[in-house]
Amino acid sequence: MARQNGISIEDMLKLDAMASCNLIAGFRGARNTISRINIMADPDILEWTTEGEFLLTTAYSFKQDNIDEQIELIKECASKKLAGIGIKISPYLDALSPEVLDLANDLSFPIIDIHSSIPLSDIMMSAFKEIFNKQASLLERIEKVHERLMGAMLEGDGLKDLTTIVQENIKNPVILHLNFSNEIIECINGMNQSYTFQLMKEVKEFYEPSNTKNRLKKLIEDKVLINGKYIKRMIMPIVLRDHVYGHLFTWSTDMPLGGFDLAIIESASTTIALSILQELSIKEVEIRYRSEFFEDLISIDLKRKKKALDRARFFNLHIENYYAIEVMSLKHKTELNETDTLIDYIQDFINPIVNMIEELMQYLNLNGIVSTKGNGVQILLSFQEEKQISDRIKDFNQKIIKCISTKCDDLDIRIGVGRTYKGLDNVDKSFQDAVRTVRIGKVITAKEIVTFEELGIFKILSQDSLVDELEDFYNSTLKPLVDYDDKKSTELVKTLDVYFKNNGNLTRISEQLFTHYNTILYRIGRIVEITGMDLEDPNHRLNLEIAIKIKELLGK
């Protein structure tokens, strides 16, 4: 909906040029805003009118006996959201018909009876002057508020101060909600507890997963029922880097919301976005500095590694401590259409997640650094003593998952924990462990947190040097069965997988696959024939079970 600034119908009626003019219908629209004035010579002008215009005309072209045309005119004016219409009824008609007046009242579309002695040009010039003065005054007020907002941002005032400036000017409750940090700032002066509860409920409901409006990058205007009364609501998104970082909410609980208020929250949303960008930029520099140090520390280039070890003291890292590295992988739970969109979406959460992790490390008295790479996070943890390291890491990771899931519930988080090594010069080994763990963990388990020790035999199978051997092993064991499934559209590999998961219990396999027992027997027979392996032979059985895991590791 377009926003208009100007004078109201009520203001127009107070003009000297409007003496002896009366509002005769559409009284509920008396506060409609007039942004432009136009004279209607013939009805075709409606094709070029815009929202907020006020039409001036005479009843010369009206026919007393053609009520339908008059009704159609009022309907079309109201549908185009014109502010109203002024008609010089006399001397052309005695009065407008009751049907026309009743329709205007139903549509809340104002009709003003222009006195026959007043030239329409006088009304137009007088109204234009008033609209211009009003808009000029409004622009001056908006500029002052904008300067105040920018000044507050440049002086380093917080988002609370910026939100307060908005509330002071629009004189209605204002709530700022930031998606990426889940921060909520309330500016609700003197409002009773019941109203406050209802407004906070509105904000919470706005962010429910089923509500797609919270992803829109444009103003949302609607009416909401609060304490038994419909209240106008404006929601302005905080858009930064083409992504929505939060919203400014305001409600017309104390004063009507109009063009001035919209201009203020538009200016505030831009200023808040700049403030967030400033904060993120500083944080990004810090993270990039730590990430460069981390990359040097795990590098196979001895010069880079030595350079990092020499700088370790700046990060409060001691050479002889015990170290463990964790690698966190982030993925959106819902598949997004474009890879670039997914990368940008994840990147929006990286810095806030780093902040959360650092705050948690400080709370748990854990020493270390947090860095980023691509769409993941790397955590280096330092311990002075070897005892209780695994318990402290377990507690730390459980709290990470809880914190991030609460604030970023649409992200799938996986954490791979490398082994603990003594000495900062050995962290590259822990890093390699962590990378393998997070990669293999996604294949073998649904757990969010996996340690290197939990990989079992996959600690051996996941070594990069074995890729060719694993490929050969897979081709000679399971691939014939995979090819047969592809050619015949059967499910022999799936049946074999379920066979191993149920320790060969055919009854359970039948129940789990919703397949007849005899069909399972037939499939087992076909598996033996195609692979040439006997499932009664422990070695053959082990080979096939490992081959299924290798298939998953190789992404076949």
Rounded-to-integer distance, Cα 424 and Cα 317, Å: 8
Query: In this structure, are residues 345 and 398 in contact, taking their beta carbons and an 8 Å threshold?
Result: no
pLDDT range class, residue 65, cuts 50, 70, 90: low
- Answer whether residue 336 shows pLDDT above 70: no
Q: What is the pLDDT of residues 350-395, one digit of tens each?
A: 777 888 899 899 999 999 999 988 778 999 999 999 889 999 999 9
φ/ψ (deg, to 5) at 315: -105, 15
Report percent pLDDT > 90 for the chain. 48
Mean pLDDT of 79-85: 94
**Which pLDDT does position 24 carry in this prediction?**
96
Question: Coil, strand or helix: which one is 42?
Answer: coil
Mean of the per-residue pLDDT values of the chain: 87
Place of tokens 């006020």: 54
The encoded tokens of residue 546 equal 């490992």
Rounded-to-integer distance, Cα 157 and Cα 153, Å: 6
**CA torsion, ordered 166, 170, 172, 177, to nearest 10 deg:** -30
Place of tokens 């050619």: 487
C-alpha pair distances (Å), 363 with each of 366, 383, 400: 8, 15, 12
**Angle formed at CA 105 by CA 102 and CA 109, multiple of 5 degrees:** 125
Rounded-to-integer distance, Cα 157 and Cα 504, Å: 67
Rounded-to-integer distance, Cα 187 and Cα 238, Å: 17
Rounded-to-integer distance, Cα 121 and Cα 405, Å: 65
**Which pLDDT does position 47 carry in this prediction?**
82
**Which pLDDT does position 323 carry in this prediction?**
96
pLDDT range class, residue 180, cuts 50, 70, 90: low
Interacting residues of 370 by C-beta distance below 8 A, sequence separation 6+: 287, 290, 354, 357, 358, 361, 377, 378, 379, 380
Question: Coil, strand or helix: which one is 217?
Answer: coil
Q: Between 111 and 70, name the one with better pLDDT.
A: 111
Q: Between 173 and 341, name the one with better pLDDT.
A: 173
Q: Which of 43-57, 166-180, 186-200, 344-358 has the lowest mean pLDDT?
A: 344-358
- Domains of the chain are 7-130 (3.40.1390.20), 156-279 (3.30.450.40), 299-457 (3.30.70.270), 466-554 (1.10.10.2840)
Across the chain, how many H-helices and E-strands are there?
A: 18, 18
Place of tokens 């769409």: 375
Bridge partners of 382? 323, 367
Q: What is the pLDDT of residues 275-326, one digit of tens each?
A: 888 877 777 788 889 999 999 999 999 999 999 999 999 999 999 999 999 9
Query: In this structure, are residues 150 and 158 in contact, taking their beta carbons and an 8 Å threshold?
Result: no
- Evaluated on CA atoms 24, 30, 32, 35, the torsion sign reads positive
DSSP secondary structure string, 339-370?
Answer: HHHHHHHHHHHHHHHHHHHHHHHHHTT-EEEE
**Which pLDDT does position 374 carry in this prediction?**
74
Q: Which of 193-202, 356-365, 495-504 has the lowest mean pLDDT?
A: 193-202
Report percent pLDDT > 70 for the chain. 94
Query: In this structure, are residues 321 and 382 in contact, taking their beta carbons and an 8 Å threshold?
Result: yes
Number of neighbours of residue 544 by Cβ within 10 angstroms: 22
**Which pLDDT does position 315 carry in this prediction?**
92
Query: In this structure, are residues 543 and 477 in contact, taking their beta carbons and an 8 Å threshold?
Result: yes
Question: Coil, strand or helix: which one is 29?
Answer: helix
Tell me the H-state helices in 171-232: 193-206
Query: In this structure, are residues 162 and 149 in contact, taking their beta carbons and an 8 Å threshold?
Result: yes
**Which pLDDT does position 334 carry in this prediction?**
59
Mean pLDDT of 20-31: 94
| Cα 507 to chain centroid, rounded | 47
pLDDT range class, residue 347, cuts 50, 70, 90: low
Bridge partners of 174? 187, 250
